[in-house]
Structure 1
Amino acid sequence: MADLSVVEICAGAGGQSLGLELAGFDHRVAVELDKNAANTLSENRNHWDVRLGDVADESIWNPKEFPEVSLLAGGVPCPPFSIAGKQLGATDERDLFAWAVEAAGKMEPQAVLLENVRGLSMPRFSAYRQHVKDRFKELGYWSDWKLLHASDYGVPQLRPRFVLIALRNEYTPWFEWPEKAPYQGTVGDALFDLMAADGWPGAEPWRAKANDIAPTIVGGSKKHGGADLGPSRAKAAWRALGVDAMGVADAPPSESHPIDFQPKLTTEMVERIQGWGPDSEYAWKFTGRKTARYRQIGNAFPPPVARAVGTSIANALNRKGRRKKLSEVENDAMHDRLYLALRSAPVALTAKELVKLAGEKIDGPTFERRMASLAKDFVIREDDQLGGRAYRLVGFKGFVGQEDHERHSRFSEMRSRIS
């Protein structure tokens, strides 16, 4: 087995970190913007090189200083793609996905792991995803995306995460997505001992009511107030499980609470829902005040899921298992045909020409909507010609490390509220 090293960006409080460590990866450096999360990393692994600051600031760390690392991993910010947000994509100052691809180009790791919210899997970002795949191909990597649910990997909540894996071409035949190992139980099973810890007489009836897996834990951001368990739909799902989702409790209900009391979760309970456990290999200590701890826990990549994905990557890097054809490895190419037509056209083309080149049946209004969506992430030049208005793809709007990119000023302005 080869020695495996990892550089982790946007490391958070350590969900992905712990999972990758258990999969056999040794951290060379972990970079995180939030002070509380960075403190938690250092508290749990004081021998790690934990760096606090903007991951895109080369005075904090320089990708070129870490050549030949086994894995570049990170949970780059979610708001640019979140369904609950504005889905600004490449024009959001928090978008670091394309930047992370370029960082990989500088480091030349054997593999890359980037995870994000389900929103990135939506049609709105099909061209963005294709752009990422195309860039990885230029850099000598095979890449693939897959939507993974935490409940399929031993975690008692749904929590869909959209995961990108990129591998140097020589390792690709040995990669396969991790096999599912679904959580066997309910929220009631997972949290019963914690709910009953202070003698609450309603713990057993509550356990019977909490008879499903949890909805996705929502860590929230610094833009909002105190901690709660998510938007209205999530709150309703928690209410059906017998949980008050309007905040996080300091302690579990006690023997003085009535049987029909509707409890809030404590941060220790949220840890359990995320896959951590004090009496297991997933033990982890969180620093800071209650709301800060909750956000660290709630925004994390569940450690068991990170471990499963990390193990699949480790197996590929060690050429472990059966060698496969690329067609067996690829999950879904997810091509955006209109984007591909624009990208491949040597000259500006009219709508009719682009639709024909794309091989799709698209009416005029649909074409305009698709082009407007593409224009959110790409620079598209429009010119009037004899045959009608012509279009040409001339650039990508995302931040990939440019010194003069407007991301820097917006990031500086918004920094106190970025999380």
Structure 2
Amino acid sequence: MSKLTSVEICAGAGGQALGLHRAGFEHALAVELDPTAAETLRLNSKGRVEVGDVADPTVWSPADYEGVDLFAGGVPCPPFSLAGKQLGSSDERDLFAWAIEQVAVIQPRALLLENVRGLAAARFSGYRQRVLDRLTQLGYVADWRLIQASDFGLAQLRPRFVLVAMKPEDAAYFRWPEPRETHITVGEALRDLMGANGWKHVDEWAALANRVGPTIVGGSKKHGGADLGPTRAKAAWAALGVDGKGVADEAPGPDAPPPSVKLPRLTVEMVARLQGWREEDDWQFAGRKTSQYRQIGNAFPPPVAEAVGRAIRDALEHKGVPHEIPELSADVHDPVYRALASADGYVSIERLIEALNEFGEASVERRLAVLAQDFELDVRTTSKGTAYRLGEFKGFTGQEDHSRHAYFEAHRNKVS
């Protein structure tokens, strides 16, 4: 199988890289901020790996990779996470808009970016609209899809919001991968590993762990250690017979008590299995236990990356029957943003109400308040009423004078 080339940013421990490799992509470059995760990439990859802030021009030059087949990445999740403050463009860690701007430089045949499901929330409808409109300007057809890892052979839910974009001639052949009809349980996925040291109660445990597990939470340098997440997540794991308050060094021994007396903890190897790493991958993780757990827990699961990667590869190779694609600017996530962005000047509240059809002034004002979190918004009140004009996007797109630079320098060791 001939290889297609890819460049991956925010590559982490290589979950997406491994999945894309299985799908037939060869990495020309992987860029990662965390030195330990970058070492993991080097231990397992033959491609070039660069360490540092992906937006730092001294780390790599996007222009050097013009025309690559696939530009991919898992840009930071905290700006959109439901578990955080959902600051979006106001979060200095946000790199989504910056990544979109690199499409103009690299001009890849395809784009793949993944993030948490929080990005699909109404809070970010304007942000998503800006992403789609910018890709339209660059000549790409883009589509978002919420994908559950459990639909692709993993024993955890792990919903991810995935963006794929291609030029029209290739987009006509792209189809999202179909989910599997059956799901695997935590007990089925981990029974052999949990019983590896001869634990005589492993079958009792596997019977308890008879459902798909909650999402593995990797945590960050700033928050979270080597455990399975916040209180609610730990409770969900306890219902499956797992003590989520930490990560074990090894599986229970032959004399370990039954799960009814003491719940076992997962090992790093078990967490990797839940994330979709296979024994035959022979993947080595650098660093100590906590670092390894974070690398694995924050990864894009290899089987999901493989499924989407194969769909992208098939489209780039024009396999199957082409289908009609929508007009480049047809997809509307936020009609208020679209009305403001397409206007030359101020837009009256009446016109914005029309853009929302049956919704009233209160609905428009709520939308405007949300937009103001990510965009400058000018308001003008006259005798004829109130009108609005969309100003500058607050997010980082590569500006030399953006506040992100100062934040990054001051908090480099805590950014993840």
Amino acid at match of 2:316: L
Q: What's the offset of the Cα at 1:181?
A: 2.2
Amino acid at match of 1:336: D
Tell me which residue corresponds to 2:344. 346
> Secondary structure of 1:174's match?
coil
Give the distance between the partners of 2:369 and 2:144, measured in 1 at CA. 24
Q: What's the offset of the Cα at 1:95?
A: 0.6
Tell me which residue corresponds to 1:271. 272
Tell me which residue corresponds to 1:333. 331
Give the distance between the partners of 2:3 and 2:220, measured in 1 at CA. 36
CA contact (8 A) 1:6 1:25 kept: yes
Tell me which residue corresponds to 1:42. 42
CA contact (8 A) 1:340 1:358 kept: no
Amino acid at match of 1:29: L
Structure 2 residue 30 is matched with structure 1 residue 33: no
Q: What's the offset of the Cα at 1:273?
A: 0.4
Give the distance between the partners of 2:332 and 2:308, measured in 1 at CA. 21
Q: What's the offset of the Cα at 1:359?
A: 2.6
Tell me which residue corresponds to 2:284. 285
Tell me which residue corresponds to 2:18. 18
Correspondences of 1:48-67 after superposition (within 5 Å): 48-67=47-66
Q: What's the offset of the Cα at 1:258?
A: 1.1
Correspondences of 1:16-415 after superposition (within 5 Å): 16-45=16-45, 47-182=46-181, 184-259=183-258, 260=260, 261-278=262-279, 280=280, 282-327=281-326, 333-364=331-362, 366-415=363-412
Q: What's the offset of the Cα at 1:232?
A: 1.8
Structure 2 residue 387 is matched with structure 1 residue 416: no
Q: What's the offset of the Cα at 1:183?
A: 5.2
Amino acid at match of 1:389: T
1:298-327 CA distances to partner (integer Å, 9 max, x unpaired)? 000000000000000000110111111115
| Larger mean Cα displacement after TM superposition, 252-261 or 146-155 | 252-261
Q: Which runs of 5+ in 1 are unaligned?
A: none
Give the distance between the partners of 2:249 and 2:3, measured in 1 at CA. 42
Count of residues in Structure 1 that have an aligned counterpart in Structure 2: 413
| Larger mean Cα displacement after TM superposition, 399-408 or 139-148 | 399-408
Q: CA RMSD in A?
A: 1.6
Q: What's the offset of the Cα at 1:391?
A: 0.8
Calculate the TM-score normalised by the size of structure 1: 0.95
Off by >4 Å, runs of 4+ in structure 1: none
| Larger mean Cα displacement after TM superposition, 9-18 or 406-415 | 406-415
Amino acid at match of 2:219: G
1:59-101 CA distances to partner (integer Å, 9 max, x unpaired)? 1001101111000000000000000001010111111111001
Amino acid at match of 1:413: A
Q: What's the offset of the Cα at 1:52?
A: 0.1
Give the distance between the partners of 2:20 and 2:132, measured in 1 at CA. 23
Give the distance between the partners of 2:146 and 2:206, measured in 1 at CA. 30
